[in-house]
Amino acid sequence: MAGPLGPAASLLAEGAATRKKVEEGLGTARHLLLACHGKFEPYQPLASHLVLNGGEQPTLADLLGRRRLSGTRLVVLAACETAVTDFAGLPEEALGLPAGFLQAGAVGVVGSLWPVPEGATALLIWRLYTALLRGGFPPAQALATAQRWLRDVTCEALAVPSDEFGRSAEDSRAAAAMAGWLRGYVLAPDPDRRPSRPPYYWAGFSLTGL
């Protein structure tokens, strides 16, 4: 597929993103990107989970039972509430999806602290991997670079990712939808407007680990 992940990336989109297929790839991926729904369960942290195709829900308990990610440098959880580990001072505050992936062997985990908007998140992840894989930045610096870019990018500047997402549209309907979302900003009346400047769009993602 097009984009910073390059042609060697293995894509599981829509109906192909089953729990079985995802679990089969856990032990082989150096970079694992999960763009799906997620839910933190504050009163039952081990039940915190991702939501895959067909409503399948691998939980934190499932992850803690695995040690198959020793070759995984970075897990990116492009989903809501995937970095939440503390709620109302619960004794299990150290538990959360990042802890599960680290316990399973991953070196670092990027996740979100609140429900995140789909379009802005896709942009953030695109820039994160551009900085990480093309720029050679370490994960913490790559994430910070992506967050600053999303905060400051103008409607006019969004024409560049719009073109790149458009070229990858043949690989995924999600890419086509993303290209359409971007074009809405590119064609905005004020080209200097910064549509993702509020922290809600970019500040929710954090890195756990190294």
Architecture of domain 14-117+199-209: 3-Layer(aba) Sandwich (3.40)
Greater pLDDT, 198 or 172: 198
Residue 20 has pLDDT above 70, yes or no: yes
Residue 130 has pLDDT above 70, yes or no: yes
Domain boundaries, the chain: 14-117+199-209
Residue 74 has pLDDT above 90, yes or no: yes
Across the chain, the runs of DSSP E, i.e. the strands, are: 31-34, 37-39, 49-51, 74-77, 108-112, 205-209
Q: Model confidence at 169, in pLDDT bands (50, 70, 90)?
A: very low
Residue 60 has pLDDT above 70, yes or no: yes
Query: Tell me, what amino acid is at 187?
Result: L
Residue 2 has pLDDT above 60, yes or no: no
Kindly provide the b/e burial profile for residues 53-67, where b requires at least 16 CB atoms within 10 angstroms of the residue's own CB.
beeebbbbebbeebe
Q: From CA 32, how far away is CA 29, in angstroms rounded?
A: 6
Q: From CA 41, how far away is CA 28, in angstroms rounded?
A: 28
**Nearest CA among 76, 158, 78 for reference residue 109:** 76
Q: Kindly report the CA angle at 28 between 25 and 30, in degrees rounded to 5?
A: 110
- Measure the N-to-C terminal CA separation of the chain; round to a whole number of Å: 27
